[in-house]
Structure 1
């Protein structure tokens, strides 16, 4: 199988340029390892900003537009200028591995899926694809969310504002649920539900394998929430694999257990290729 595109959604506050293609001025342990494992692939790295969660849909769309343009240029998306008829005659789509870190990366992923789906142009074909969810999704409560969003903020005033807004949001939602018996959903609730949709990205289907990499030692995201999310995916008929670590902090599993971490991802890719091959042989 030809590994063409690796789409990485970083965790909140991760210091990397918005989108990098091919060559890198700042390599990371993840992009370096992907280069070693799949040297023919082009990597698209999307940075996650804490403000993304609270931005308008229009602002989110502008922020992710470079990623959309990169996918179009690489053949992973049909350009909006194409008609549905001409789209179906295009060359087969490249293989795509999607790797999201923490709730910040998962939020970027689900938003990108909504943006692409709204375009209304079908994929030329369903490519070999797979999804990696590292340390997500889940809700660590007000304090866990504060830690996730404020850890990369050095300005004490801004950090204080973030803490106030998050605590107020949790209080407001709790008040609605208790007093008004409302089933109000938080941003995280909506994101988790979207991740368990079959077409979270338009080229996904039920056979697209999903891998959860997580730890019981994660202080930001409760591991049982991740397991519950994976279980709901299994109940929906998705192909789900869990790789649980017991001593690695949030988004630090690759650092502490590199062999297990990358072996799990390689197995995921192999299963994706096998699944798509079986689908092609038995339409």
Structure 2
């Protein structure tokens, strides 16, 4: 990506690979703010989308380092486990070297961001022998279930508006879905969305002491609000400190766009619980 193609808001970030952007502030002053923000976008979110959130965090916590990661539909649906680990390896190298007392705010979006978050958490556990050391976690529009219609809508978001291409893509998804389901049934495994749901409530991967905030919407047509609420209920039963913010009319992963003041206010409120 040339300098002219870098989205506004990311010019001062280092691009570590095709998926990862990293910002370290010029000066860091001691404070109760996060030292580090780990931000993982929804599936097929572009850097220009992520920049809206990195800019928000820079205003909110100017002394925090920010690591932003994108996930494509190819990463989530077709890439091997080894390929995904290679994709996130620059981020892992940074996370492995965080100081023991670093204050980490984890923020991920949708099932695509959750997919990559779980890869990071599992790699961190394997390497470091402990849960990813998050201080607080934001679940934005996540987790859902891998329902057919929701999956089709998720994959169709970034397709061209050409009706013929969209019809062909939808047909391919309808054919592929039962094939994937049959493979999971025959191998005794679960789909990547179910794996993400289970892993994000696994106390060996996600620190029980880190309070979590679920942000979701009644109007989300990709991740149903009842799916988010079910996961939040399970987390609370397990002992996690859970808060929820339910929007009524915002679309999938679009709550900040609809009401930025409310959105960043609830993020600040979450962090105030640990600062």
**Quick check: TM above 0.5?**
yes
User: How many residues matched?
Assistant: 242
Alignment TM-score, normalising by the size of structure 1: 0.76
- Aligned pairs for 1:28-43 (under 5 A) are 28-43=51-66
Deviation (angstroms), 1:106: 0.6
Deviation (angstroms), 1:259: 1.8
SS in 2 for 1:197: coil
**2:92 is the alignment partner of 1:68:** yes
SS in 1 for 2:85: helix
Alignment correspondent of 1:276: none
Given the superposition, is the C-alpha separation of residues 96 and 162 from structure 1 closer, same or farther in structure 2, using an over 3 Å criterion? farther
Alignment TM-score, normalising by the size of structure 2: 0.78
Q: Which moved more, 1:162-171 or 1:189-198?
A: 162-171
1:133 pairs, out of 135, 139, 149, with 139
Q: C-alpha distance in 2, partners of 1:147/1:112?
A: 26
1:50-101: CA deviation from partner (whole Å, max 9, x where unpaired) = 11123211001011011112324xx42xxxxxxxxxxxxxx53311001001
Q: C-alpha distance in 1, partners of 2:174/2:266?
A: 37
- Aligned pairs for 1:232-251 (under 5 A) are 232-251=234-253
1:58 pairs, out of 82, 100, 106, with 82
Q: Which moved more, 1:51-60 or 1:180-189?
A: 180-189
| Structure 1 unaligned residues grouped into runs of 5+ | 18-25, 77-90, 274-283
8 Å CA contact retained: 2:41, 2:50: no
Alignment correspondent of 1:142: 148
SS in 2 for 1:28: helix
Given the superposition, is the C-alpha separation of residues 195 and 168 from structure 1 closer, same or farther in structure 2, using an over 3 Å criterion? farther
1:210 pairs, out of 209, 212, 215, with 212
1:219-273: CA deviation from partner (whole Å, max 9, x where unpaired) = 1111101100110111111111110000100011011121221111111111123
Given the superposition, is the C-alpha separation of residues 103 and 170 from structure 1 closer, same or farther in structure 2, using an over 3 Å criterion? same
Alignment correspondent of 1:190: 195
Q: C-alpha distance in 2, partners of 1:138/1:13?
A: 17
Given the superposition, is the C-alpha separation of residues 149 and 254 from structure 1 closer, same or farther in structure 2, using an over 3 Å criterion? same
Q: Which moved more, 1:91-100 or 1:33-42?
A: 91-100
Given the superposition, is the C-alpha separation of residues 186 and 164 from structure 1 closer, same or farther in structure 2, using an over 3 Å criterion? farther
8 Å CA contact retained: 1:44, 1:70: no
Alignment correspondent of 2:257: 255
Q: Aligned-residue CA RMSD in angstroms?
A: 2.9
Alignment correspondent of 1:8: 39
- Aligned pairs for 1:150-189 (under 5 A) are 150-154=156-160, 163-164=170-171, 166-172=173-179, 185-189=190-194
Q: Which moved more, 1:217-226 or 1:137-146?
A: 137-146
Q: C-alpha distance in 1, partners of 2:264/2:91?
A: 25
Q: Which moved more, 1:155-164 or 1:136-145?
A: 155-164
